[in-house]
Amino acid sequence: MTINKADNIELDHGGGGQKSSELISLIRNVISDKGKWKNQMDDGATLKIGNQHLVFTTDAYIVDPIFFPGGDIGKIAVCGTINDLAMMGAVPQGLSLSMVIEEGFPMKDLLKISESIQKMSREAGVPIVTGDTKVLPKGKLDKIEITTAGVGLTKKIISNSGAKIGDVVISSGDLGEHTVALLSSRFNYKTKVVSDSKTLNKEMQAIAKYVHAAKDPTRGGLSANIIEIAEKSKAKIVLEEELLPYKKETFAIAGLLGIDVLSFASEGRFICAVSEKDAKKVLQILKKFNPEAKIIGHVEKGKGVFLKTVLGSLRPIEMPRGKLVPRIC
């Protein structure tokens, strides 16, 4: 499972599963120096400035199609980076926006994407403050690629290594609908489900003081992200099969295509670990944003992530390998 120097890059190296993790580790080993920064293995890195922490993060977007039910590449480029900052407990301060565009790309589509960026940025109250624009010759890029980076500030960092034994795991809503929206537009499959993409900073700020660990299950879905929390928190997480946060239609399309629903991505949902005593309060707050918010599992002593079936047996959940839905973000 290790990468060989003679290998070539494969699609799955970007899919958010096992191969992605390996490639990222390889690059990190070559490039990363800690310096004064902390939390570099989290959604963002942090730097102490005075009595607060600067949080810094980035994401590249190559979603296909660029316009899909419930959103477009501009919308998720804003949501994704704001949400990474929010998951760290930070108040997002501003985003950078870099667009690489294919020659011949229609100006009207660029304006539509720009308007969508503006809308999300204003809704979240996080301005786009700096940017870059490059153009590649026709045929050298598939339409448009967007990279956003973001900076946030917080006095208390939430790390995905902070889940504690006895915590409950909460999902802020039903998951995977971003992948459903993309698949339905790729395969012309009729569904009312639209992308769940939205900014999470207000939701997260409302419960931040209770949160021990949080992740937004984008690439790799619930399985990759809950495994990350369990591994980094050195704990075992048990999810209840009957509480899995997916709509019937989401299960249906996953079944139809033979893809593990646990790898389906969301672009506007998060999972978090909070202590049992705070769970009721947290759910009360989260339900104001989304009535689907619910407890989906528990943090226990041990290691690994398991699905407790309705019959009571434990099935291990593993990192998604190969055959992930490509270009979902």
* Binding-residue pattern over the window 303 to 322 for its own copies, x denoting contact by CB under 8 A: --------------------
Nearer to its own copies, 81 or 250 (CB): 81
What minimum distance in Å lies between the beta carbon of 105 and its own copies? Answer: 4
Pick out residues in 244-273 that bind its own copies (CB under 8 A): none
Instruction: Provide the 10 A C-beta neighbour count for residue 42.
Output: 23
> Which of 69, 166, 304, 326: binder of its own copies (CB under 8 A)?
326
The CB-side HSE value for 313 (13 A sphere, CA atoms) comes to: 3
The token duo for 311 is 């019959």
Q: Output 118 or 290, the one with its CB closest to its own copies.
A: 118
The phi, psi pair for 40, rounded to 5°, reads: -70, -10
Tokens of 119: 């809308």
Which residues, numbered 32-91, are part of the site for its own copies (CB under 8 A)?
32-37, 40, 44-45, 47, 49-50, 52, 54, 56-62
Q: Which of residues 146-205 bind its own copies (CB under 8 A)?
A: 147, 149, 151, 153
- Report if residue 102 touches its own copies, rule: CB under 8 A: yes
* Least distance from its own copies to the Cβ atom of residue 258, Å: 20
Cis peptide, bond prior to residue 65, ω within 30 of zero: yes
Q: How far is CA 19 from CA 220, 306, 324, in A?
A: 11, 21, 10
Q: Cβ of residue 136: shortest distance to its own copies, in angstroms?
A: 6
Residues found in the chain: 329
- By CB under 8 A, the residues from 114 to 153 that bind its own copies are 114-115, 117-118, 121-122, 126-137, 140-142, 145, 147, 149, 151, 153
The count of C-alpha atoms lying within 13 angstroms of the C-alpha of 206, restricted to the half-sphere facing its C-beta, is 14
Q: How many residues bind its own copies (CB under 8 A)?
A: 87
Task: Calculate the CA 305 to chain-centre distance.
Answer: 18
Nearer to its own copies, 138 or 303 (CB): 138
Beta bridge partners of 150: 57, 95
Strand partners, 136: 102
User: Does residue number 323 form part of the binding site for its own copies (CB under 8 A)?
Assistant: no
Nearer to its own copies, 15 or 71 (CB): 15
Question: For its own copies, which is the closer residue by CB, 28 or 315?
Answer: 28
Q: Which of 61/306 has CB closer to its own copies? A: 61
Handedness of CA 200, 202, 203, 205 (dihedral sign): positive
Contact code string over 5-34 relative to its own copies, x by CB under 8 A? xxxxxxxxxxx----x--xx-xxx-xxxxx
- Decide whether 44 or 173 has the Cβ nearer to its own copies: 44
Task: Identify the CA nearest to 223 among candidates 294, 165, 271, 273.
Answer: 271
| Shortest distance, position 88 Cβ to its own copies, whole Å | 11
How far is 68 from 193, CA to CA, in rounded Å? 11
The distance of closest approach from Cβ of residue 232 to its own copies in the complex, given in angstroms and rounded to an integer, is 16
CA distance 10 to 286: 39
Q: In angstroms, rounded to a whole number, what is the distance separating the alpha carbons of residues 59 and 78?
A: 10
- In this chain, which of 65, 111, 155, 276 binds its own copies, going by CB under 8 A? 111
State which residue, 35 or 258, has the beta carbon closest to its own copies.
35
